[in-house]
Chains A and B, each alone.
Chain A
Amino acid sequence: MTPFYAWVTSLAHSGVLPADFQYPFLVRGFLCVLLLTPMLGGLSHLVVARRMAFFSAALGQAALTGVSLGLLIGEPLNSPYAGMFGFCLLATLGMVYVKRRSSLPPDTLIGVFLALSLGLGLVLLVAVTRQFNVHQVEAILFGSLLTVTDSDLLLLLAVGVVVMALLAREYNHLLLDSLSPPLAGVEGSDSRFLDYFFAFLLALSIVVSLKIIGALLVEALVVVPAAASRNVARSARGYLVWSVAVAFVAGAGGLIVSNRFLVPTGAAVVLGASLAFFVTLIASALGRGSLARLMRGRHAAGVAVVLVGAVLLASRMWIGALLVAAGAYFFKFGWPTSSQRPTTND
């Protein structure tokens, strides 16, 4: 890989590529984004269609517990994949099995698993921090470009190809099963197999994404691109294209912001995806001619203005502070109106 990095660095020095690409770790990060976004984008729209957003959050926490477990049994800090994948797989099988057997609502059951793995993870994390520097563990929690190695990239490539190939093979069955399990059953789909199959692919993808996105935020990248995509997509194809595009823009943008402003990569990527969600929400409202109605919803308007302000602030444009304050005001009190509501005299 060294000649490749040298070539990219030379392109950055000669001005063909942005100056950020003179650092090999950033090139690795960009390659990660190129590999991650089709995989997570492809998965994300099915995650939302199959209502597995909360399931993804639980898997992220399980991955954290798995990392701690792996480190405690002697795995290297840089690649605790066995513990991570092992525990995630266990949690996946457990959650799907109990969900299919129990009459309790799925979110309640997943909440129980989430609490269990989070509690266990925190206990193990305390034990881990006795052996490792807490800042080393932080990279796993929030994601860090510095810890991504060429081996991680190769693993990501291999897993990405396998996940996308398997997903493409079963996509139509998965979508039909999301729309109507009885109809999918009549057409020959095995709902139980699809449940386990998709959860397994999700677990695999989350494990390999963890080093760059972080355990606490990986769930967001599995959900937010699809949520943003839903605002603007009008067909299954558009849904996929927009999900991948949002994940890519958020990933690449997050990398640059992370590098320039020294913030955790995962956080920057997820903020980028969230920003994309609000942008598509506004675009969708504009498309429906209902922007005014949307903006009258004080919470949506407030959050959107705060986010725009935060981006400006991050770019050291201090007017952003004013927007943040204004957004907070809208969130709390609503849009200022020129006329008073009519009052009645009792």
Chain B
Amino acid sequence: MSAVATFSTTPTPSTSSSILDVSNLTVRIDGQTLLSDVSLSIARGTLHAIVGPNGAGKSTLVNAILGQIRFEGRILAHWRRNGRIGYVPQSFAVDRTLPVTVADFLALTRQRRPVCFGVGHDARRRIGAMLVGVGLAGFEQRQLSVLSGGELRRVLLAHALDPLPELLILDEPATGLDQTASQWLEDVLLAARDRDDVTVLMVSHDHERVKRHGDRVTVLDTRVVADGAPADALA
């Protein structure tokens, strides 16, 4: 097994037009090939969608990019700013009896002090602003376990967007959201791309939405079936 996940960490800003280059990526787990010889390039400042049927390897590709599974091939990132990846996972199963509030959760990566000693003043202020940004003002003391699926997804998006990432990865972010929430999510992602120059990589099942707003689409079915502009790739 050769796993080469190379994320450029040199202080010199990269001049590459792509933020992520995936070359000949193959993932095998328990003898089963989940991804085979996948190559794709994600252009900086775009909304790149990954589509495909169930079991096509979309989440596996995301996990490989995040460095969470072993793979063969090469993934090369070209950072220009902070090199931060924001990530919204497909599922976030919260233990219903675990007493962790929204503020506790968001403070975990925003203060050095252990969260069990309380959330500090600065972190509290920052978290308040983050929650306002995702339409959940006043939710600081709500327990994670009582949030609805849509509210939880907003909290995860707030977490992923602070500090502003260079690459935002979302694994089926609209799952379980109603029409209004889906529209809100779409607005947030487009604003992140257009206003804040965040590159968005999104796994999605919603072909119509991808056609409307995606800059590029990769259709996966264990290997790359099509890759290009949405109108062509999803034709």
> Of residues B30, B99, B143, which shows the largest number of chain A Cβ atoms within 10 Å of its Cβ?
B99
Q: How far is the CA of A176 from the CA of B63 in the complex (A)?
A: 18
Q: Is A179 an interface residue (CB 8 A)?
A: yes
- Decide: A176 and B67 in contact? CB cutoff 8 A: no
Q: Does any Cβ of B come within 8 Å of A98's Cβ?
A: no
Asked whether B67 lies within 8 Å of A171 as measured between CB atoms, the reply is: no
Give the distance in Å from the alpha carbon of A186 to the alpha carbon of B156 in the complex. Answer: 13
Within the complex, what minimum Cβ distance (angstroms) separates A233 from chain B?
A: 4
Contacts of A171 in B (CB 8 A): 114-116
Q: Given A172-B109, A179-B105, A182-B89, answer yes or no on A234-B99 (Cβ-Cβ < 8 Å).
A: yes
Are A172 and B85 in touch, CB under 8 angstroms?
Answer: no
* Chain B residue nearest in CB terms to A242: B99
A236 vs B115: C-alpha distance when bound (angstroms): 7
B104 within 8 A of A: yes
Choose one: B89, B92, B118; the contact of A237 (CB below 8 Å): B118
Q: Please pick, from A167, A176, A239, the residue contacting B108 in the complex, using a CB distance under 8 A.
A: A176
* Chain A interface residue count, Cβ-Cβ cutoff 8 angstroms: 27
Contacts of B100 in A (CB 8 A): 175, 179, 235-236, 239
Contact status B66-A182, CB under 8 Å? yes
B147-167 interface with A by 8 A CB criterion:
156, 159
SS of B interface (majority): loop
Are A179 and B66 touching (Cβ within 8 A)?
no
Look across to chain B and name the residue whose beta carbon is closest to the beta carbon of A176.
B108
Cross-interface CB contact of B101 among A175, A176, A234, A240, cutoff 8 Å: A234
Interface residues of A in 150-192 (CB under 8 A from B): 167-168, 171-172, 175-176, 179-180, 182-183, 185-187
* Contact (Cβ within 8 A) B92 A176: no
**A230 in the interface (beta carbon within 8 A):** yes
Name which residue of chain A comes closest to B99, CB basis: A233
Check: A103 CB closer than 8 A to any chain B CB. yes
**Residue among A168, A185, A230, A236 making CB contact with B97, cutoff 8 Å:** A230
A18 at the binding interface (Cβ < 8 Å):
no
Known interface pairs A175-B108, A186-B66, A233-B99; A239-B85 also in contact (CB < 8 Å): no
Bound: A183/B156 CA distance, A = 10
Is the beta-carbon distance between B108 and A172 smaller than 8 angstroms?
yes
Q: Does A249 contact B (CB under 8 A)?
A: no
Q: Chain A residue with minimal CB distance to B94?
A: A179
Whether A49 sits at the interface, judged by CB under 8 Å, is: yes
How does the 8 Å CB contact mask read for B182-194 relative to A, with 1 for contact and 0 for none? 0000000000000
Q: A179 to B156, alpha carbons, bound, how many Å?
A: 12
Contact A176 B109 (CB under 8 A): yes
**CB interface residues, B 79-96, toward A, < 8 Å:** 85, 87, 89, 92, 94-95
- Would you call B10 an interface residue if the criterion is a C-beta within 8 Å of the partner chain's C-beta atoms? no
- B68:A240 contact, CB within 8 angstroms: no
Q: Look across to chain B and name the residue whose beta carbon is closest to the beta carbon of A227.
A: B97
Interface residue? A111 (CB, 8 A): no
Q: Which residue of A lies closest to B112 (CB)?
A: A172
B141 at interface by CB-CB < 8 Å = yes
Q: Complex Cα distance A103/B89, Å?
A: 22
Cβ–Cβ contact B101 & A185, under 8 A: no
Does A238 sit within 8 A of B, measured CB to CB? yes
Cross-chain contact of A235 among B63, B87, B99, B111 (Cβ < 8 A): B99
Q: Which chain B residue has the least Cβ–Cβ distance from A239? A: B99
Query: Which residues of chain B come closer than 8 Å to A42, judged between CB atoms?
Result: 116
Instruction: Tell me whether B66 and A240 are in contact (CB under 8 A).
Output: no
Question: Is B114 in contact with A168, judged by CB distance below 8 angstroms?
Answer: yes
Alpha-carbon distance A180/B94, docked complex (angstroms): 9
- Inter-subunit contact B99/A238 (CB<8 Å): yes
Question: Given contacts A175-B108, A236-B100, A236-B104, are A103 and B30 in contact (CB under 8 A)?
Answer: yes
Contacts of B95 in A (CB 8 A): 49
Interface residues of A in 215-269 (CB under 8 A from B): 229-230, 233-240
Contact, CB under 8 Å: A185 / B94 = no
Are the CB atoms of A186 and B87 closer together than 8 Å?
A: yes
What residues on A are CB-neighbors of B30 within 8 Å?
Answer: 103
Chain A residues with CB below 8 A from B109, complex form? 172, 176, 187
Complex Cα spacing A42 to B68, Å: 29
CA distance A130 to B234 in the complex (A): 78
Is there contact, CB below 8 Å, between B116 and A240? yes
- Asked whether B1 is an interface residue with its Cβ less than 8 Å from the other chain, the reply is no
Chain A residues in the interface with B (C-beta under 8 A) = 42, 45, 49, 103, 167-168, 171-172, 175-176, 179-180, 182-183, 185-187, 229-230, 233-240
Q: Offer 24 A-B interface pairs, CB within 8 angstroms, sorted by A.
A: A42-B116, A168-B114, A171-B116, A172-B108, A172-B111, A175-B115, A175-B116, A179-B94, A180-B92, A182-B87, A182-B89, A183-B87, A187-B109, A229-B99, A230-B98, A234-B101, A234-B141, A235-B101, A235-B143, A236-B99, A236-B101, A237-B115, A238-B99, A239-B99
Given A103-B30, A172-B108, A176-B109, 11 other A-B residues pairs in contact with their CB atoms under 8 A = A172-B109, A172-B112, A175-B108, A179-B144, A182-B66, A183-B89, A234-B99, A235-B99, A237-B117, A239-B100, A239-B116
